[in-house]
Amino acid sequence: MDTGTLMLTLAPMVGLKPDDIRAALSGTQQAVMLATDLPVAVGERVISETIAGLDVVPYWRRHYPERTLAAHVLGFYTAQHRGYYGLEGFYDQRLAGEVISRTQEQDAQRNPMPLDVTQDFTARAQRGVDLVLTIDRTAQMIVEHELAVALEATGAEQGAIIAMDPRTGDILAMASAPGFDPNVYTDIAAHDPDRFVNVAISDLYEPGSVFKIITLAAALDTGQVSRDTTYFDTACLEVGGRQLCNWDRKDHGPVSMIDMMAKSLNVGAATLSTRMGAAEFYRYVTAFGFGKPTGIDLQAEATGQLRLPDDLDWYESDLGTNAFGQGLSATPLQVIAAVAAVANAGELVQPHVVKAIADGEAVREAQIVEMGRAIRPDTARTLTEVLVEAVAREVPQAQVPGYRIAGKTGTSQIPIPGGYDDPWTIGSFVGYGPASDPRLIVLVRLDRPTLSPWGVDTAAPVFQRVAARLFAVLGIAPDDVMAEGR
């Protein structure tokens, strides 16, 4: 076929003008790329014309029909055939498949001879594995909707919500906002690449008062206190030469463990950690998974920062501040995984988003990965009851009718060089239920809200809406029904 006929035949099929093809072929290159990203049907039609010297190379291209839904979980696949972030990055090699190698014949001058374009078109590319996710599509839509509403209502700059089954580590929904559309990743990469960062697994923050769950868990498990133990609460307490004060700067006199959690008293948490001593306290903190990644099957998980007594930059005052979640950092995923251990009778399990991997006829189901026992089952039950009563007394915003909710608010300061970025905070709430048989745990994090600096005002109501809707969608019965079934 001469060049003129080639241009007239090929141009309309691939969406080019004849002059474009003439210009491309006017050079001295041995091989010229005329068009890319053509639909399969177009490639097959070009092949049917049997144009000598023309090669058609098929390849896999990812399309995301749900657009922004679960974008941070999925990540994206580039035109350079690489996966980045989320599942795409973590499972890149297994998802990518492969292009079958082809041998081109050469002429006497060792120049490649044209391939026979009539060879099997579909045989040149083999697909990779298929992933079956733990994500519930409806739950994901609910969580993303509620997070978007929360950002608008509270004025928060960004946020994250994670919903998980505490018994298995199945991530049922995971949302970070602002989101993005992986179909147009190139546009986002050019002007706002930070949007690719999954706040839920990659953005560190000081957990704040949510961490008091870990401190009380350790104190209960070591026998330092029982649920009915009281201490005399002063407005401030000196630890390692530093004055640590309650958020309200008030002394509360004789206080029980339930009151300490309900009123979220920093002095109470610091009292518990100093009574235990550094060795015992940090033994439990590390047993709950802090200071190391969870190992979730998503790319770019952050580790978190935890100073230990043997570290040169650890100070005695850290024993007090760490007890109420200050001076250490974690991801929302690490926090929810740690609290899920309380809901799961003290056993820490690894969070994951892949339920099964299908490779042709072979299907491999994901297994529950136990990461160690953090506390005894009886300690977990006692702590759950303490958290239920604390929520019932002080956090009506988080209560769901028919369900006993165990949970804790958090209000975190935001560290900057030389101190904290006052007056800005991160509001959070983590809770699980039904308390009699926990099937769902949800964490809400909202950064720099303008509505209120307190997690009880910003994050707790979001938890309530999310939990109420997910209990219904996931078919999780209320506590009284659970009790009848046992």
Q: According to the CATH classification, is domain 133-485 in 3.40.710.10?
A: yes
Cβ neighbours for 251, distance < 8 A, ≥ 6 positions apart = 233, 234, 235
Q: Of 444, 435, 431, nearest to 476 (Cα)?
A: 435
Cβ neighbours for 269, distance < 8 A, ≥ 6 positions apart = 209, 211, 212, 215, 216, 260, 323, 324
Q: According to the model, what pLDDT value does residue 362 have? A: 87
Asked whether 383 and 412 are in contact (CB, 8 A), the reply is no
pTM value? 0.87
Task: Scan for tokens 């004060």, then name that residue.
Answer: 245
Q: Of 299, 355, 356, 304, nearest to 334 (Cα)?
A: 304
Q: Which residues are catalytic?
A: 209
**Distance in angstroms (rounded) separating the CA atoms of residues 234 and 254:** 9
**Distance in angstroms (rounded) separating the CA atoms of residues 397 and 410:** 14
In tens digits, the chain (486 residues) has pLDDT values of 555 566 667 777 776 777 776 776 676 666 777 777 777 777 777 777 666 667 777 766 778 899 999 999 999 988 777 899 999 999 998 988 665 544 444 445 555 444 444 444 444 456 789 999 999 999 999 999 999 999 999 999 999 999 999 999 999 999 999 999 999 998 889 889 999 999 999 999 999 999 999 999 999 999 999 999 999 999 999 999 999 999 999 999 999 999 999 999 999 999 999 999 999 999 999 999 999 999 999 999 999 999 999 999 999 999 999 999 999 999 999 999 999 999 999 999 999 999 999 988 888 999 999 999 999 999 999 999 999 999 999 999 999 999 999 999 999 999 999 899 999 999 999 999 999 999 999 999 999 999 999 999 999 999 999 999 999 999 999 987 766 655
**Distance in angstroms (rounded) separating the CA atoms of residues 439 and 165:** 6
Q: Of 412, 421, 398, 449, nearest to 208 (Cα)?
A: 412
**Distance in angstroms (rounded) separating the CA atoms of residues 380 and 195:** 37
**Distance in angstroms (rounded) separating the CA atoms of residues 137 and 46:** 39
Asked whether 135 and 172 are in contact (CB, 8 A), the reply is yes
Task: Scan for tokens 């657009």, then name that residue.
Answer: 67
Q: Which two tokens stand for residue 320?
A: 């007090």
Asked whether 354 and 94 are in contact (CB, 8 A), the reply is no
Cβ neighbours for 167, distance < 8 A, ≥ 6 positions apart = 344, 349, 438, 439
Q: According to the model, what pLDDT value does residue 125 have? A: 54
What is the 8-class DSSP label of residue 310?
Answer: T
